[in-house]
Amino acid sequence: MSTDPFITIVPRKMTASELARAIRLDISAELDATNLYQAHIDATDDERAKAVLAHIRDEEKEHAAEFLQLLALLDPYQAEELQAAPQNVAQVLAEGRVSGGAPGETPGASAAGGAAQERLTVGSLMGRGQG
């Protein structure tokens, strides 16, 4: 995807909310680029290319981190969530809310001795509701 530099010329400045949304898109683009460069690294045996791609990939990770910091400045609620995230993750892990069961198994169902509930997926929903 190529970006047209003139597409963003608008007759007004972005609002704070619009800028925060744009930064979220920028974060997404940086993460996509990180995954793309890693895929290129995984797909080649050329050590020169791997070295350059790894350097570029790491810069994208840095950009994503910088955009997250900018987003925290622009969106106070997002900043609160970013600060609370480490504690939230630690709490989830401490409570044992991690599923180690088979795919489709309801977390905790086998440990509690109960029957596993059906896991709904797009595939399992195909054809439902059609009489």
The residue extents of the domains of the chain are 16-84
Which uninterrupted H or E stretch holds 74? Answer: helix 47-74
CB atoms within 10 A of CB 68: 16
CB of 57 within 8 A of CB of 34? yes
- List of the chain residues with pLDDT < 70: 1-8, 97-118, 123-124, 127-131
pLDDT of 12 reads 81
Indicate the pTM of the whole model: 0.65
* Best CA proximity match to 69, nearest among 86, 59, 83, 58: 83
Q: 107: Cβ–Cβ under 8 A, 6 or more apart, which residues? A: 97, 98, 99, 101
